[in-house]
Structure 1
Amino acid sequence: MTSLYGLTHPPIGFGPGSQPEADAEGLEYLPMPSGMRIYHPHLPEVTDPVRAAAARGLLERLHAALAGWSEGEEIRIPVERLDAPVLSLIDEALGEGEVSVLVERPGDRLEIQEAALAGVWRVRSYETGVAAPRETVLVGAFPRVALTRAFPAAPPAEAQAEAPAGLMNGLPILTELLDHSARWQRGDAAHAVNFSLLPHSPEDLAFVERRLGVGATTILSRGYGNCRVTATATPNVWWVRYYNSMDTLILNTVEVTQVPAVVCAAAEDIADSAERLAEILDAIGGAGANGASA
């Protein structure tokens, strides 16, 4: 005969009071990302209508580039001939976005900053022996120059290093990544290896890092927590590491792709940027007219 106890008494270990309090010893949660950055319009203060007109001219070209942009396209807008006050007004209008890029090679250095308008990039190129940097504004999903310089022409010296003792999955992981790197073609889907979920030893991680080498491009995306993307010395292979607001590593992956999607502007983002820049142009136009009438 079946007992009626289970039907008339709640099961033990369930319901209110059955679990430890959130601050009880032994119950800990990994802090998740917080402090998400959101768009705020940058409306510059216009005091000189002549400089406002010069800045507006470049911003109008930029707006036309955003409005006419198509997938895979990159549009360059040089700014070297503009004087410092005009550039300062443009900087104020464009603001600073989520993604920063640093490309370092012997003899030259690139500093790239995404504007608050997604898909708009400020590029500063520093060369040894040249006093002032060359500046350009780009419109595109991600600056190509940061990709063409990311990986060295020759394989890293560590590529032939001996496998150390203590490896668990290091060799098959490395073989998988090198195979996908050799076979990768433009348009292929990204191939990812997730070290946060894959069983591995510290020796495995150190071995794979050493054999892949270090490339020239480092990217930081600050959208929701931090994501740090670094090129290896192996073509089209990137480390992608996600950190929470406490700078604790919460996801550690390697991607074989042209560039990880997390740092790219989507077509929808660029369309939104065209609309937002139109609002900024209206504000500058109104302020310039007020300044001229004053």
Structure 2
Amino acid sequence: MSVFEQKGSEAVSNRAMPGMTHNTLPLLHEVRHALERLLRTGESTIIDLRAIPFGPGDEERLLSLLGEGEVAATLDALGRTTVRESRFSGVWIVDHYNSEAERIAFQLEVIEIPALLRAQTEDMYQSLGALDSVLNAEMHGPE
């Protein structure tokens, strides 16, 4: 007999499918504790999903249970990276690929916003200089 936990309008079963490693439910518990810790202390958590021994269908089941939230971003720098909010605010799915389209990192980040999405101070200084140049050119016209 399977046990169900109601989450909104979706029911989540802890009964494993044949061939699964049973890592999905413990991972969801780990995410739950990480989210509680983030709320209580401000401490973020990164869970390296590449280090988890998933069986056939485990990764898909985990991603299905996490669902999709309202925010998604794609970065193209030395390969493609996708950052997606799960349906649980503060729980992010970060998937990194290199320039040969090989997965090099796959993580859950429990954080307000992943560092990859934050503007870097050095980049902002460069942007300030570039904006000053645009404004200067517009104010003084072509020379």
TM-score by length of 1: 0.41
2:12 aligned with 1:160 = yes
Richer in strand (by share): 2
Instruction: Output aligned runs, 1:206-217, within 5 Å.
Output: 206-217=60-71
2:41 aligned with 1:184 = no
Aligned CA distance change for structure 1 residues 202 and 264 (closer, same or farther; 3 Å): farther
Task: Tell me, in whole angstroms, the C-alpha distance in 1 between the residues paired with 2:41 and 2:138.
Answer: 40
1:242 Cα deviation from its structure 2 partner: 0.5
2:108 aligned with 1:245 = no
Which protein, 1 or 2, shows the higher relative CO under an 8 Å CA cutoff with sep ≥ 6? 1
Counterpart amino acid of residue 132 in structure 2: A
TM-score by length of 2: 0.79
SS of the residue corresponding to residue 229 of structure 1 reads strand
2:55 aligned with 1:226 = no
Instruction: Output aligned runs, 1:75-94, within 5 Å.
Output: none
Q: What are the Cα deviations for residues 162-200 of structure 1, in whole angstroms up to 9, with x where unaligned?
A: 432233222211110122123422872431111122222
Task: Tell me, in whole angstroms, the C-alpha distance in 1 between the residues paired with 2:25 and 2:31.
Answer: 10
Instruction: Output aligned runs, 1:47-66, within 5 Å.
Output: none
Q: What are the Cα deviations for residues 2-50 of structure 1, in whole angstroms up to 9, with x where unaligned?
A: xxxxxxxxxxxxxxxxxxxxxxxxxxxxxxxxxxxxxxxxxxxxxxxxx
Contact 1:156 1:233 in 2 (8 A): no
Contact 2:72 2:84 in 1 (8 A): yes
Runs of 4+ displaced beyond 3 Å: 155-159
Task: Tell me, in whole angstroms, the C-alpha distance in 2 between the residues paired with 1:285 and 1:213.
Answer: 49
Task: Tell me, in whole angstroms, the C-alpha distance in 2 between the residues paired with 1:231 and 1:180.
Answer: 15
Structure possessing the higher radius of gyration over alpha carbons: 1
Instruction: Output aligned runs, 1:27-176, within 5 Å.
Output: 155=7, 157-158=9-10, 160-165=12-17, 166-168=19-21, 169-176=23-30
Task: Tell me, in whole angstroms, the C-alpha distance in 1 between the residues paired with 2:8 and 2:98.
Answer: 31
Contact 2:37 2:43 in 1 (8 A): no
The CA RMSD over aligned residues, in Å, is 2.3
Structure 2 residues without counterparts, runs of 5 or longer = 1-6
Structure 1 residues without counterparts, runs of 5 or longer = 1-154
% identical aligned pairs: 27
Aligned CA distance change for structure 1 residues 156 and 275 (closer, same or farther; 3 Å): farther
The residue that corresponds to 1:108 in the other structure is: none
